[in-house]
Amino acid sequence: MKKPQTFTHGGITLDLSRIKSFHIDTWLPNNRSHILKIELNSRYEYLFNPETEEYEKVLLNDFIEHHYADYDTAEVHRNEWQGYWQEYLEDN
């Protein structure tokens, strides 16, 4: 298991041990573009179902999205995050 390490950069704070991938969405509906998407490792939670009155195991796929004004800025931030993540992986 990786050692948790909280890190802040460019207005985003997250645990480096939970990162799964980075990518940039260049266009999404509703005029959303240049979104840096940070996918986090999947995790399980137990949620109470009031209909069955039992806890159910649910797989969650978390991610963080951050909008940038242009592709170049999003790319710079993605590359910086990748560098910080690589340093973390090399240290652990």
Residue 82 pairs in a beta bridge with none
Q: Are strands 6-9 and 12-15 parallel, antiparallel or unpaired?
A: antiparallel
Q: Return the pLDDT at 33.
A: 76
- Counting residues of the chain whose pLDDT is more than 70, the rounded percentage is 92
Give residue for tokens 């806890």. 55
- Is the pLDDT confidence value at 53 over 70? yes
Reported as a pLDDT band with limits 50, 70 and 90, residue 51 is very high
Q: Return mean pLDDT, the chain.
A: 91
